[in-house]
Amino acid sequence: MPDKRRHRGKHPDDDQLFAAGKVSTLATAVAELSWLLSRDYAADSALKLVGDRHDLTARQRTAVRRCACGDACMHNRNDKRVSVESIRGFRLGVDGYNLLITIESALSGGVILIGRDGCFRDLASVHGTYRRVEETRPALELILDRLARAEPDGVDWFLDRPVSNSGRLKNFITELIAARRTEGRRIVELDIQLVDSPDRALAGYDGVVATSDSVILDQCRQWTNLAAEIIDERIPKAFKVDLRANATECGGEA
């Protein structure tokens, strides 16, 4: 069946799965999984152990996995994190789908998870095909507004070449920037690149990276929490689920 969704919004069960009464349990699960990851337990088996202990659904387990990280990873990410303001004059590499889909999800009322590392992550999924939704243009406008204010020395925006419609999205962003220029609005120059692996391109990027992808965060030189800043500043009614409680430091004894 073709994907006919018009929004990047929440799953029908999310109000129940991520209700206020469930957040404490989920945060505890994040802390426990982070403790196990800090001791080099295999991620899949550790998640099963924690998920079974708290009787979590598959979607809740995905949320816990996306929010957890071991102590070494957390400290490494914290050490490399820079403010959005500090990218002025430096080149910025953007994990295009990662950033865009997170902002789309926030605008459409989808769950926005706050992980142990402070990153904002969504629960949306794109399996080989990207489809524009009603929130795509507003999301891009918010991103372009913030980039223009940040004044980096240019932006490299990476999109996955294997994902269908990446070329169309590139053209749409290019047209949006051209319209902003015609209207006399502030812009930042974007070099939109279709690459086989944005993860690989950004892990070795010679500049600051905007992403919440754990693999990239663990390998890049510097990163900035652009999605979190945009959501906090411009989408105050976003459905945020903060799972950092009890998970600040997992290095103690069992």
How far is Cα 45 from Cα 241, in angstroms, rounded to an integer?
24
User: Mean pLDDT highest for which of 7-16, 181-190, 210-219?
Assistant: 210-219
Structural domain includes residue 27: no
Structural domain includes residue 65: no
How far is Cα 4 from Cα 8, in angstroms, rounded to an integer?
11
CATH classification at residue 234: 3.40.50
> If you average pLDDT over residues 32-46, what whole number do you get?
97
What pLDDT, on the 0 to 100 scale, is given for residue 246? 61
Per-residue pLDDT tens over the stretch 109-166: 999 999 999 999 999 877 789 999 999 999 999 999 999 999 999 999 999 999 999 9
Structural domain includes residue 52: no
183: buried, middle or exposed (CB in 10 Å: 19+, 13-18, 0-12)? exposed
3-state secondary structure 106-172: HHCCCEEEECCCCCEEECCCCCCECCCCCCHHHHHHHHHHHHHHHCCCCEEEEEECCCECHHHHHHH
Structural domain count, the chain? 1
Structural domain includes residue 118: yes
What pLDDT, on the 0 to 100 scale, is given for residue 249? 53
DSSP label at 55?
Answer: T
Per-residue pLDDT tens over the stretch 224-246: 999 999 999 999 999 999 999 76
Structural domain includes residue 109: yes
Structural domain includes residue 86: yes
Structural domain includes residue 5: no
Residue-number span of the structural domain to which 134 is assigned: 76-239
